[in-house]
Chains A and B, each alone.
Chain A
């Protein structure tokens, strides 16, 4: 066991820090600003430095470095510590680009990856449907081939960013007679294609996080399929596990915990600081212990990745534990503030960044989204503990 990164990495860390000190002010202040000129210029600078798109080959517009898990981690840690946005995020860069690198055609890689990395093409993901949630593979949005075009009909739900995305990567059923996992294909298309209707789906946070997207005879060139017909489930699954890990990031939880402790030091009841009240102290220490455990678990996963070892159970529990922990943490902040904790929107009494209530609700959304906690428990028990699967209910003939 050796937790030091070594001098080469400490030099690298110093470089990242120096860059952030000198250029950090050039970054857009809003983490979710993906479209302004400032955001695009910052993105260009980060790619040039190798702080984003680091391992993507130069010919596809990336920095072209060898994969180095520790350097990637150092970049993430230093940007987080400096509270500087680490470039354009979203599902295009996080999910579609790695998918294309693995399974896309050369033409798709050359046409799509460079403008996506530059932030010129922003993507949304069309997976879930009203009747295909936890059982995603039962999706029914279909596409049939007409000449050299796919014609899509159906609808998607929970589609983040669809109201401003340029393109969608989408799962559609192209082989209606095949078993459900083998009848799905992975299509890419422009969001301004005729026949696409995006309607906002407001959620409990009063924010437009999601949309519903309806397709009526949407015509897509046949060359815009990734992988072969019927392989879409496999294409989608190459990167789905990665998304789950991101949802439970304990390093983000640590930042929120520090904000919470600060809040408890300043918030008073009858002139007494909340941090001095034993019941609240105990609750925050419980959470600190949990955050600590999840950070060490994360360190174990990082080490396993570097040393090419596996820690499957440690990985499988991250989404479940991480999202529940965040929900609990934000809840305590609300209890610390009591009636002030109810403040929302433009209320002048909002504390800190005013995001406690928003996060409390948003994390309930994440407990449900990205594979519900119950689905996570199925995965942990079946794949992690080798317990038997739930016996399948046989669909009756004519009712498939």
Chain B
């Protein structure tokens, strides 16, 4: 029995963190926010092998598990790194396992070497807002999908109203790919509109799209875990430095207890993320429910940490000086994306009613 990270997994996180410490610091982040180009960060991650994490070793990949991908997502969250990671390194490679070898090889190697990126249009599976809906007729898609992750990517994975999964390519007839501004400037999100757009069917089985939704959710969970841990660390460090009334504020119980409460909420989220990611590979009968609960619970804990850590910083936490708000907003984004807590908790009830 071993429920902990292996040395290889810790080494993986170390190498990603080391790279991001050097290449994706706050200054680089501000530049990205200003001119929108973060290409070099993704290129660097591709060089570290991030693009082929989940690819079987037989296909030249690293053959790693979903948990390993989640550990990378945790590092990206900790650094609020702008990357097309979820679509390009996780969802698209896994989706392509369901298609014939010809189609697979067409997209897989350019994804792995970073030549192309992939977007994720699955949010309607969690609950369609407004008129958003995609329908399929004879492998042509029409309609609208909202809250797409990386909508301007070279390929986009799209779920339809029958929970079938399709792949559309940038430049296809009738396809519009629009980016919308959100509070989270470290992520690219928006919508796609389709009008009789030719698409490749990945799978008509709803279980395939739903499984990918679970996996994408767990990636967001890991991202929030990393971001929230960073905020907690920053709050503790700040409280040990900042002096008022001739004492560091971290010696006041009011401040210490805020930090203790953050740690108490966040620490079990680590085990929960591990388990949810592990279950997706190894415990299929628990995977859906665990992913739902992890999505909701870690969002709640993360939101609590985001506001409390900001509060520990006092006025400076509210300003742009430390850039703390990037983490606050990333956690806020992850909370809503692919199912807010109330929605996924309702899903959790329905899953159990179906099982009962």
Contacts and interface: CB of A to CB of B under 8 A. Distances in A.
Interface of A: 1-6, 70, 275, 278, 281-282, 285-286, 288-290, 292-294, 296-297, 299-300, 302-304, 306-307, 309, 313-314, 317, 320-321, 374, 376-378, 380-382, 384-391
Contacts of B1: 2-6, 70, 302-303, 306
13 contacts: A4-B1, A275-B349, A282-B342, A285-B345, A289-B348, A292-B272, A296-B3, A297-B272, A302-B1, A307-B4, A314-B271, A385-B236, A390-B252
B275 A299 contact: yes
B260 A381 contact: yes
B120 interface: no
B57 interface: no
Given A1-B3, A381-B260, A293 B296 contact: no
Given A289-B296, A296-B274, A387-B259, 19 more contacts: A2-B1, A3-B278, A5-B1, A6-B1, A281-B345, A282-B345, A282-B346, A285-B345, A285-B349, A286-B345, A289-B293, A289-B345, A299-B271, A314-B268, A376-B260, A377-B257, A380-B260, A380-B263, A381-B259
Contacts of B345: 281-282, 285-286, 289
B349 A281 contact: yes
Contacts of A377: 253, 256-257, 260-261, 264
Given A1-B3, A285-B345, A297 B251 contact: no
B251 A389 contact: yes
A253 B247 CA distance: 41
A334 to B, nearest CB: 21
A68 to B, nearest CB: 11
A275 B263 CA distance: 32
B5 A1 contact: yes
A285 B289 CA distance: 11
A313 B267 contact: yes
A317 B1 CA distance: 23
B278 A293 contact: no
Given A1-B3, A278-B346, A388-B250, A293 B272 contact: yes
Contact of B296 (A286, A320, A376): A286
A278 B297 CA distance: 18
Interface residues of B, number: 46
A288 B252 CA distance: 34
B248 interface: yes
Interface string B279-302: 000110000001001101100100
Contact of B269 (A282, A293, A380): A293
Nearest to B264: A317
B67 interface: yes
Contacts of B259: 381, 385, 387
A296 B272 contact: yes
A134 to B, nearest CB: 12
A226 B294 CA distance: 47
A390 B251 CA distance: 5
Nearest to B261: A377
B173 to A, nearest CB: 43
